[in-house]
Structure 1
Amino acid sequence: MKGPGIFLAQFKGSEPPFDTLENLAEWAAGLGYVGVQIPCDPQLIDVKLAAESKEYCDDLRGTLARHGIEPTELSTHLQGQLVAVHPAYDTLFDGFAPPEVHGKPAERQAWAVEQVKYAARASANLGLKAHATFSGALAWPYVYPWPQRPAGLVEEAFAELARRWRPILDVFAEHGVACAYEVHPGEDLHDGATWERFLKAVDYHPAARLLFDPSHYVLQQLDYLDFIDRYHDRIACFHVKDAEFNPTGRSGVYGGYQDWVDRAGRFRSLGDGQVDFSAIFSRMAQYGYDGWAVLEWECALKRGEDGAREGAPFIRDHMIRLTDHAFDDFAQSGVDRGAIRKLMGLSPDGAAE
């Protein structure tokens, strides 16, 4: 496992040190991070140029390296969301796209698909193994329906989602980059069952992978350790983010339309929530996860700068260096096969008794 890294999406801004990629890299390095996850935002990266120019990508890596920083992954969470948008969300999601495609869902989708494909090629030019994104959603308004959704709606939604994503996944596969979907409420891929449905719909495409973020499992009351046990072979990215769930007789999973600070389920800074990160890092080490551990800061209470400052040592202290020998090697008896057979009452030479 590599890290600590930090996702820059929640920190970029208009004032230094949050205004440019280089300034953010210097800031992150000063906090103890060694990697940054870069959203495909023109403020930080020209993703089209990165897709077309290895020289541009080498220069970007050089800029980060001057501060002891590597790129961990690129992110197209916003663009990936726009690959599949239910009409109920058209107006809100227009804000994720350039003005020239506002009010034009088909053109907005085409723009988003192009952007994610650029990100696949850019990731390869940057020497990255994985990419972080969202799936988008066509069925989400029907997740808890009344009246009951008609038979076949979910099946058709996932068939369409697969039709949209398969050509994108082919580009990722062509360039040797994993397309890691963040399993997240609001997306059609929001738990293990929906992930399995999508994976089957894309015929278990080799580029289709997962971004594991336990905070979203806490808010849904999913078993995040069991999720790792089930799907560890598809986990390609890891957001280290904390959360808590404190239900009452008044408010639970759905949140009652309340502000984040008043909900039963809230995102928290690392160490302030309920996620068992010792168990998570142990599971990830057990299954040989060799990607990055990346802080994603979102907290209903604490300032982002404080969460970022506390995050690097938190991640570093939880990362596990795998042992190269068994803990009880000191007690090895050094016996050979013959002695082993003798211990079991068998003939030393393996002849029939």
Structure 2
Amino acid sequence: MQTLKGPGIFLSQFIGAGAPYNSLEGLAQWAAALGYKALQIPCNHPHIFDLAKAATSQTYCDEVMGSLAQYGLAISELSTHLEGQLIAVHPAHDAAFDGFAPPSVRGNATQRTAWATEQVKRAAAASARLGLTAHATFSGALAWPYLYPWPPHNPLLLEEAFAELARRWRPVLDVFDQHGVDVCYELHPGEDLHDGITFERFLAAVNNHPRCNILFDPSHLHLQHIDYLQFIDIYHARIKAFHVKDAEYLPNGRSGVYGGYQRWIDRAGRFRSPGDGQINFKSIFSKLAQYDYDGWAVLEWECCLKDADTGAREGAEFIRQHIIPVADRAFDDFAAGSDSRASVRAQLGLTGGVGDD
């Protein structure tokens, strides 16, 4: 067994206009001072991390790794959540997501998809140059507007949606395979891959591609009332990345899972800082240790109440305390008997050769 790595922190929610949040070195100094050991770096901020350069320049990648190493930091994964989102966008969401793309491709869905696809492929090359084995992203969504449909469920519509999603992603998965990097889809409401069933459907559509994997974030499962511990039992072989994000669901008589179009703070289900919500992280870390998860535990902070810097400071210690240093031997090894076949047959009262009565 291997002890999982951590704590790591996803930088996306902390990048800002002022120091130390406006440069990779500043963020590295800040994160290291809080006790983090790794950064999950988004690829949509060129002044933080230049994806185009990283995809083609080993020198640049070595410089980035060397700069982080000065502060005792590694890179856990790169992230293309926004770029992955843009690989598949239903027309209903064009206006909302156009801002995630550069001005040159806005207003043109075909060009925007091509740009996003190329960016995610670049992330495969960059990940390999950085020595990474996992990559965090979103799947995008063509079927999401039909989540809870009226008129009723249309099987052909969903069949076409997942077939097209697979068609767009299969070449990307092949590029990641060439670079030896797993694609880890964060299963997230708003994405076509948002639970186990949708992941299975997509996995089948890409012919069980070995690079099609999961970023496990229990908060999104809890708010859908999915048993996130059983989820690990079912899908542990495909879990290659892990976000430590807490959530709570507070039933009431006015709104439910869909949130009533309210702000996060007013919804029945909302995100919290680790330890402030309802997620059973002790059992999660135990199950991940049991199944020999050897990736990083990465804080993703999106609390609707707590200050971000406080959440980051507390999150590092929270993860550190939950990491289980796995045993190198069983506690009852001392009582084990002989490993001689003759000896154990004698212990069973059996005599003669193997198979004798």
TM-score bin, normalised by smaller chain: over 0.9
Task: Give secondary structure in 2 for the equivalent of 1:30.
Answer: helix
Distance 2:218 2:269 in 1: 13
Aligned pairs for 1:319-338 within 5 A? 319-334=323-338, 336-338=340-342
The TM-score with structure 1 as length reference comes to 0.97
Give 5+ residue unaligned stretches, structure 1. Answer: none
- The equivalent position to 1:227 in structure 2, one of 224, 231, 234, is 231
Q: Is the 8 A contact 1:339 1:348 kept in 2?
A: no
Distance of aligned partners of 1:335 and 1:49 in 2 relative to their CA distance in 1, 3 Å threshold: closer
Aligned pairs for 1:201-220 within 5 A? 201-220=205-224
- The reply on whether 1:80 has 2:84 as its aligned counterpart is yes
Aligned pairs for 1:263-342 within 5 A? 263-334=267-338, 336-342=340-346
Q: Which amino acid aligns with 1:135?
A: S
Distance 2:211 2:338 in 1: 45
Corresponding position of 2:252: 248
Deviations 1:70-98 (A, max 9, x none): 11110000000000000000001011011
- The equivalent position to 2:178 in structure 1, one of 171, 174, 177, is 174
Task: Give secondary structure in 2 for the equivalent of 1:146.
Answer: coil
Shift of 1:336: 4.2
Deviations 1:178-223 (A, max 9, x none): 1110000000000000000000000111111110000001110001
Shift of 1:351: 5.7
More moved, 284-293 vs 330-339 = 330-339
Corresponding position of 2:265: 261
Task: Give secondary structure in 1 for the equivalent of 2:270.
Answer: strand
- The reply on whether 1:5 has 2:2 as its aligned counterpart is no
Q: Is the 8 A contact 2:244 2:297 kept in 1?
A: yes
Distance of aligned partners of 1:83 and 1:331 in 2 relative to their CA distance in 1, 3 Å threshold: same
Task: Give secondary structure in 2 for the equivalent of 1:9.
Answer: helix
Task: Give secondary structure in 2 for the equivalent of 1:310.
Answer: helix
Shift of 1:349: 4.7
Q: Is the 8 A contact 1:83 1:113 kept in 2?
A: yes
Corresponding position of 1:35: 38
Task: Give secondary structure in 1 for the equivalent of 2:242.
Answer: strand
Task: Give secondary structure in 1 for the equivalent of 2:152.
Answer: coil
Identity of aligned residues (%): 64
Distance 1:331 1:348 in 2: 26
Distance 1:262 1:171 in 2: 42
Select the structure with the greater relative contact order (CA < 8 A; seq sep ≥ 6): 2
Corresponding position of 1:129: 133
Task: Give secondary structure in 2 for the equivalent of 1:96.
Answer: coil
Distance 1:24 1:345 in 2: 67
Q: How many residues align?
A: 353
Q: Is the 8 A contact 1:172 1:178 kept in 2?
A: yes
Corresponding position of 1:47: 51
Aligned pairs for 1:184-203 within 5 A? 184-203=188-207
- The equivalent position to 1:56 in structure 2, one of 49, 60, 73, is 60
Distance 2:325 2:272 in 1: 26
Distance 1:328 1:150 in 2: 56
Task: Give secondary structure in 2 for the equivalent of 1:72.
Answer: strand
Deviations 1:319-338 (A, max 9, x none): 11111111112333557433
Q: Is the 8 A contact 1:342 1:348 kept in 2?
A: no
Shift of 1:111: 0.8
Task: Give secondary structure in 2 for the equivalent of 1:83.
Answer: coil
